[in-house]
Amino acid sequence: MFHSPFPDVEIPALSVYDYLFGDLSAEDAARVALIDSATGAETTYGALKAQIDAFAGALAARGVGADTVVGLLCPNVPAFATVFHGALRLGAAVTTFNSLSTAGEIQKQIEDAGATWLVTVSPLLPQAAQAAAACGIADDHLIVLDGADGHPDLRSLLGEQLTPPAVHIDPAEHVAALPYSSGTTGIPKGVMLSHRNLVANVEQSRVNIDLRSSDRVLAVLPFFHIYGMTVLLNLALRQRASLVTMPRFDLVEFLKNIQEYSCTYLYIAPPIAVALAKHPVVDEYDISTVHTVFSGAAPLDGDTAEAAGRRIHARFMQGYGLTETSPVTHAMPHTRDDIPVSSVGVPLPNTLCKLVDPTTGEEITAFGEDGQTQPGELWIKGPQVMMGYLNRPDATADTIDADGYLHTGDVAVCNEGGWYTVVDRVKELIKYHGYQVPPAELEALLLSHPKIADAAVIGVSDEAGQEVPKAFVVPAPGADLTAEDVMAFVAERVAPYKKVRRVEFVEAIPKSSSGKILRKDLRARQAVTN
């Protein structure tokens, strides 16, 4: 068992709303909380709290309460914070959707989560309305924040100026957020994160991550993803920093916003680090205000991080976590310069770790002559570990053991200096630009094609070194099928980040005697091909 090098911190027994806004001072209320990069409009902390209360009051008047699930399909705009925290203010649970989701994907999540309200913006209304109608959500329960005929909008709801009721919940037992994750395998499942989970992870992260009220954070990573929800949105709000919201990533707009709004702190995923290290357009903008770049959502190699850091004269840091851990379990502490940037850092306070041999099940505790342990599956225990998967006690039991350790499915090593490096993955999940792509979902879709007899999907590296989905396809006898046909078929039915980007036709898919796909054989085949 490996402990955090930091002493435990006290986790306040508060709801997310009370934790973030309950002690808002007059000085902090005057600070700028949110800046809309599209318009430059600023929202102070005092105004944000008032909007959250007014939105909560309007929802409460319409019957939303502690047993309600609200769906939120929204890009990074200031209103996201109002809706998310307004619903949590009432004790409602919020299930967030990827903005790229298709109507079919939205419908599945609404039905699985039991959402009875859906909040979106007009550009996403076509797929939102189709999904809502299929789920029986009436137009008056489909809020379009920027307005659409026949639907409530944010301006009118806030204009009612209704006071929300007092709400009493148990922060440790009441679900606050319900993001969806594929876990170690399979199709997406609702991850039940309590108010305590979210509060704990912000309080823990404050120790490792040196974000201050004087910082301006460029919020380009999506708030609907747990990384953006906790580390961008909630941590920044707790620290009284300013968030500059970007609805989508565009490198030029990203650089323009840093320059225009003098951003100091960036949270990114590895593809942005690659651009900062290599893209020539970076030199056209003054981004010298940036002092720290924090990467997460997928592994970032040390060479790229160091190259990007040298180029923009900023410190690069890295962290690790999962949706199931709210998400942060490890982060590079700002107080230490001896930890290589290829590492994900040290465990957060209140976090226990185990490394377990995936083959033998034995715990790994010894350090070798090179100063690090043998690789082992990383197990995590702490107050940030989820309550479980929604309506999936079987999947929960497969992920969290009787001692409370969550089995991550990731393989890591620990250095004698206390820092960890993630080196491999036991699980089959593909991470495309930080988004989770479950092979099982794509395989099921491919098998629905009349000209495909069998299929399997694995992650492979593209020219930029990023993981992309590759399909191995067995054509039906006599079928006339091209790789382009296969990719187009998938692209029409899934969100863009789930698209198959490589196809190889094979005579058979290797499988075990129990029928499981032998992905290791496919990876070996891929290695030989390369």
151, 168, 185 - which closes a domain:
168
CATH of the domain at 133: 3.40.50.980
Question: Domain for residue 179, yes or no?
Answer: no
Compute CA 408 distance to the chain's CA centroid, rounded to the nearest angstrom: 15
- The per-residue pLDDT for range 270-303, each reduced to its tens digit, is 878 888 988 999 999 999 999 999 998 877 878 8
Question: Domain for residue 34, yes or no?
Answer: no
Look at residue 514 in the predicted model and tell me its pLDDT.
Answer: 46
How many domains is the chain built from?
Answer: 2
The Cβ of residue 83 has, within 10 Å, a number of other Cβ atoms equal to 25
Question: Domain for residue 65, yes or no?
Answer: yes
- The per-residue pLDDT for range 78-94, each reduced to its tens digit, is 999 999 999 999 999 99
| Residue 494: closest CA among 435, 428, 429 | 435
Question: Domain for residue 363, yes or no?
Answer: no
Question: Domain for residue 164, yes or no?
Answer: yes
What's the token pair of residue 63? 């019957």
Are 124 and 99 contacting, i.e. CB atoms less than 8 angstroms apart? yes
| Residue 115: closest CA among 97, 95, 99 | 95
Domain of 461 in residue numbering reads as: 430-529
Look at residue 512 in the predicted model and tell me its pLDDT.
Answer: 60
Question: Domain for residue 151, yes or no?
Answer: yes
The rounded radius of gyration (Å) of the Cα atoms in the chain is: 23
CATH of the domain at 484: 3.30.300.30
Instruction: Please state the pTM of the whole predicted model.
Output: 0.86
Question: Domain for residue 126, yes or no?
Answer: yes
Look at residue 29 in the predicted model and tell me its pLDDT.
Answer: 98
153, 168, 183 - which closes a domain:
168
Look at residue 334 in the predicted model and tell me its pLDDT.
Answer: 87
168, 199, 228 - which closes a domain:
168
Q: Which residues of the chain have pLDDT under 70?
A: 1, 183-186, 424, 427, 436, 512-516, 528, 530
Positive or negative CA dihedral for 292, 293, 296, 299? Answer: negative
| Residue 28: closest CA among 278, 297, 236, 306 | 236
Question: Domain for residue 18, yes or no?
Answer: no
